[in-house]
Every structure is written in structure tokens, then in C-alpha cells.
Structure 1
């Protein structure tokens, strides 16, 4: 149970506001009375306080939500005027009962002010109604802000789920294509590839199901993927994977690096020409950076290029949602006509 929940804070704020108002009402007698304040004055002030409380919560819980907020402003004004007039009339009756109208109150110029009480009560009623309107509209505004935030969060969560749902089949489709090619030529290699794929599937289905995963598991997944991709590259393609043997424990979004590594194997491998793929993962205290560099071969079909673009596009959108203002992404060809991808996450 939260001690400082929204409802508890709401109750405490109301309690202390009424406590302050109570002290103000009870001790608002003329200074020249000193300690000789008649008992009737305190009775009358307590009755006034009860009236103020009733008016406040009547206005706050009924009049504002059912009249003012529902755009029946004219009716609201008429009811408020009736309440002010009724409270002023009721106060006069109370003053007559306790004989307070005949008690002299100090006047700024020294003379008696017999209308002090009569003008004080309507002013307090108007003040209380104004406070009720202010508090009600502030709460309504806060509720709308919270609702918008919840809807935005739900939208983001739904979008991320859809993006991950698109990335995972895309990843398995590419991997299964690689394994299929070996089932026709080398059964032993295909069996090894299936074993590696089963480990990767376990990560995707369980570890990558949440919003974040330990970097060490993400790196282990990348290593498995690279081992699997080694099966499809020839000796003409040099491959370098550099990661820390014992990475610092930090949490990252699952499979956030994979599309850039996938892209390197799709466009950086040729069975005829020499090429290279370099993958580096660098850490410091509050960031992790992926560097991918590969030779580019323009030998892909339009369908393959479109399929590959899904992963990069979805990952870019995931970065915008998960790391707003906390990531740097650079992709493109360098001066050597090699493709480079640099992704830095601030953790």
C-alpha cells in the first residue's frame, strides 16, 4: 500500500487547507475584544465553517461536474447566486439568534461597522466557490494529462510489439534460408546450424520477450548468429568480431543491434570477389556502441533489398521510441565505398 498515493495526497491537501481556514475563521474577531470573545461568536463561526464546507463540496462534487463542465453555465451561475443569497440570508438569521448584529465592530475611521459580518460571509462563499472551480479544473487537467500519457504509452507499447513481431519472422526467414541451402549439400553443417538456431530461438522467445535484456545475453546471441553466418561465407570474405569477453552488465533493448549485423552479411558477402565484414561492440561506463563495416556488392534482387529494409526501418523506429534523445545512429558509404553503421546507445 502506498502511503503517498494520489488519493491520500488529495485527502491531506484538503485536510490542511480546511485546518488553515478553520483557524482563520475562528480567530477573525475584532482585536479590541481581546480575550473577552463571547461564546456566541465561536458558535456562530463554527456554523459558518460548516456552511463553507457544505458549499465547497456541493459545488465541487455536484455543481461543477453536472452543470459547469457540461456547458450549462447559465444554470450554474443562477444556482451559485442563489447559494450566495441563501447563505447571506441564513447568516443574518444566525446573527439575530445570537444577537451579534448589535455588537460593534471596529471601523477604519473609528466608528462602528455593523455590516462587517454580513459582508464577510458572502465574500467567503464566493471565495470558496472560486477555489472549488480552480481545484476541479486543475484536477480535470491533470487527469487529462495522465490519460494522454497512458494512451501514448499504450500506443508505444503496441507499436513496439508490432515492430518486434515483424523483426523476428524477418530474422528467422533469413536464417532458415541459410540452413536450407546446406540441407541440400552438407548434412553435418545443416545439423550444426539447426543447433545454433535452436539456441537463438530460445533467446528470441524468452530472453528477448521483455523490454530489456542484459547486454551479455545480447552479445552471446550475436556470437551465435555470427557463427551461423560463417557457414554461408567463403574464404574470400574476411570476418572480424570484436567484443569484450566479460561485458559490463547493463540493459539494452533486445535484438536492437541485429538488423545492422544482418545487413552486413546480406550485402558484404560475395562468392567471387574478396571482401570483409567487421563487427565491434564497445562499452564504457554509461554507453554501448556498435560499429559495423562491410564491403558492398550490388548483386541483390529488389525483393531481397525490400526485405532487408524492413529490419533497418523497424529498428530505427524502435530506437526513436525506446531511446529518445539517447542514441546516435549513422549509416552510409564511407570514402572507400564501404558501408558503415554506427549505433551508440546512452544507458
Structure 2
């Protein structure tokens, strides 16, 4: 089964977005807030980032928010506990920011030396320590901006996780659909070929041994090789060549031809049995069943990035409404569904009746 690159790897955007919030919001905005509290405006230097230790302090003083957006929000949102999320978030954030500030100042006071930073850490420590058991909170502005910034991170992470899960469900559903379509096709093919070998055996045809050998090769391919997600186009071509030979032996006087035109250096990978419904359809409804002056002709052309398969058969003169009947068969329904699953938006199937012949032309844009 072909997958686009986006389906193979998970998006890194949530991680990049989270890194930007920590860098720009915490490393710049919160650093500027702490710098304004620690250093009077009259003493501010012209350096771009004076007192860089405050950047580390801002990062450490914001660690309390990690359990909130990494665990609390996604867990309760997935369980649809919205009221609980609101109450727990309010209680947690209101006191966690004060406790985190106390612990951060304890960590940074020993390395502050003397001067403005030590004074800032000391006053900030005592302020938050006094308010820790109380309802008061001197960091309401920072608390609000922390909540706003990291709630965005939480929702971005959650949205991408849900999208990844949805994509996985679609992927699993696609695999089940494809398996169902293949198992639908296999008994249909076996039924048709057994009818053919039954007719030859009744007629006592000398081609019966070769016919049985070809049927054995075809059934081996259908039952075993078609279980793979994709195969080399070369294997599919060998299968079709055997099929056409089998039909030619059934109707030796008919004009049954299969040609390949290949301009690629490496055979592309294709879904197994993809072309079989079109081939079966032409042999089933062709006029060669009744007269030797008729036939089935097919051409498979491969170019870099493209595959084109064309098959024509002479129609019975009394079947002007053949298209309506044939488009409702299991074979054509099967290939339409499989094409939509394998190559959504990347194929074109045209069915026409030029000059008393039925023509099916399939063009596929192959993934690179």
C-alpha cells in the first residue's frame, strides 16, 4: 500500500512551537519582566541582554507549568472533564507559581553574589513565601500570561495527537478495506477460471495439461503473491501474460494480444491484481466467445511516474446497453474502489464504445 510521506512521519510542529514559546515568551518576555523588577530603569545598561542569569531564573521559575500543559490539560480534555479541568487548573496554577518561585529563589540566591540580583532574589523569595499559604498572589500578570501561552501549547499538542490518531484509524480502515476487496476478487477469479477448465475437459482438448499448468501459476499468484501490499510491475506483467495465453488456448481462432511498452529503468511497485478486473471484464463480455473474427487486445505502457493500461474487445451486436450492465459488475466496482483507495485523485479510468468495440483506458500517476 502506497503512503504519502506525511503519513509515514509525525509532524514536528508541536515540538517546534513548544520550543518557540519557551524561547520567546519565557526567555525574552518573562526575562524582561524580572529584569524590570530587579534592576531600576536608571541603572539599566545598553547591553541587549544584561544579567543573563535572569534568563535561567525565568526558565526555572516557569517549570511549574510543565505538568499543567503536558499532563493535566490533555488527560482531562480527553476524558471530557471540563469542569474538573477548570477547577483543578485554577487551584494548581494559583499556588504552584508561588511555590516554584520560592524554590527558584532558593536555588539562585547562593550564586547571585552581591548586588542587585541578590536583593531581587531575597525580596522575591520572602514575598512568595509569605503569600504561599494565603489566597493573595503578587504574580497575577505572569500567571495569566503563563496560562495563556502554555494553554496554546497544550491545545496544539492535543490537536496534532488527535490528528495522528485519526490518521492511524483511517490507515487501519484502509488496510481492512483493501483486504476485503482482495478477498472479494479471489473467489470471483477462481470461479471464472474453473468454468473455463471444465469446458476444456469436456471437449477433451490436448491443451488441457498446459491449461492446468497456467491455471496453477495464476492461482498461486492470486492466493499467495497478492497478499503483499505491493509488487513489482514485472510480476504483474507475467501474471497477465499467463492469463492471455490461457484465454488464447481457450479460443485459438480469436485475436488475443497483450503488449508492453516500458520506458522506465526500474519497474515501479503496484498493487497486485489491480488490472485483473478490466481484463476479466473484456474476456467475459467479448464477441470472441461466438466468432473467430473478434478478439481482445491490451497494451500496458509505463513511463517515469505514469502507468497507462488500455484494453479493447469486440462487442456483441445485440448489446447496445453493455456499458450499463458492465459497470455494475463486481469486477469494475472492485477496481473503482481499489483505485480510489490506492491512488486518490491520481488516476483516470475512461470507459467508451468506439466503432462497436468496448474500450477501457486507465491512467495512473505513480507516487515518487
Bucket of the pairwise TM-score, normalised by the shorter protein: 0.7 to 0.9
Quote the offset at 1:231 in angstroms.
2.2
Q: Secondary structure at the match of 1:52?
A: coil
Q: Is the 8 A contact 1:44 1:98 kept in 2?
A: no
Structure 1 residues 101-146: Cα deviation after superposition (integer angstroms, max 9, x where no partner): 9xxxxxxxxxxxxxxxx99832111111112221111111111111
Quote the offset at 1:319 in angstroms.
0.5
RMSD of aligned C-alpha atoms?
4.0
Quote the offset at 1:205 in angstroms.
3.1
Structure 1 residues 215-235: Cα deviation after superposition (integer angstroms, max 9, x where no partner): 111111100001111122252
Once the two structures are superposed, the pairs formed by residues 34-113 of structure 1 within 5 Å of their partners are 34=44, 50-58=60-68, 60-62=70-72, 65-66=75-76, 70-73=80-83, 76=86, 80=90, 83-84=93-94, 98-99=122-123
Q: Secondary structure at the match of 1:297?
A: coil
TM-score, with length taken from structure 1: 0.75
Q: Secondary structure at the match of 1:329?
A: strand
Which of 287, 290, 300 is the matching residue for 2:309?
A: 290
Quote the offset at 1:245 in angstroms.
7.8
Residues of 2 paired with 1:307 and 1:44: CA distance? 73
Number of aligned residue pairs? 316
Q: 1:131 to 1:190 in 2, by over 3 A?
A: same
Residues of 2 paired with 1:197 and 1:255: CA distance? 15
Quote the offset at 1:32 in angstroms.
2.5
Q: Secondary structure at the match of 1:291?
A: strand
Partner of 1:323: 343
Quote the offset at 1:75 in angstroms.
6.9
Q: Does structure 1 residue 124 correspond to structure 2 residue 115?
A: no
Residues of 2 paired with 1:80 and 1:199: CA distance? 70
Residues of 2 paired with 1:78 and 1:60: CA distance? 14
Q: Which runs of 5+ in 1 are unaligned?
A: 36-40, 102-117
Q: 1:246 to 1:81 in 2, by over 3 A?
A: closer
Partner of 1:258: 276
Q: Secondary structure at the match of 2:311?
A: strand
Q: Which runs of 5+ in 2 are unaligned?
A: 1-8, 46-50, 106-118, 126-135
Residues of 2 paired with 1:148 and 1:140: CA distance? 12
Q: Secondary structure at the match of 1:313?
A: helix
Residues of 1 paired with 2:23 and 2:202: CA distance? 84
Residues of 1 paired with 2:330 and 2:158: CA distance? 42
- Larger deviation, residues 128-137 vs 183-192: 183-192
Q: Is the 8 A contact 1:84 1:126 kept in 2?
A: no
Q: 1:253 to 1:298 in 2, by over 3 A?
A: farther
Partner of 1:107: none
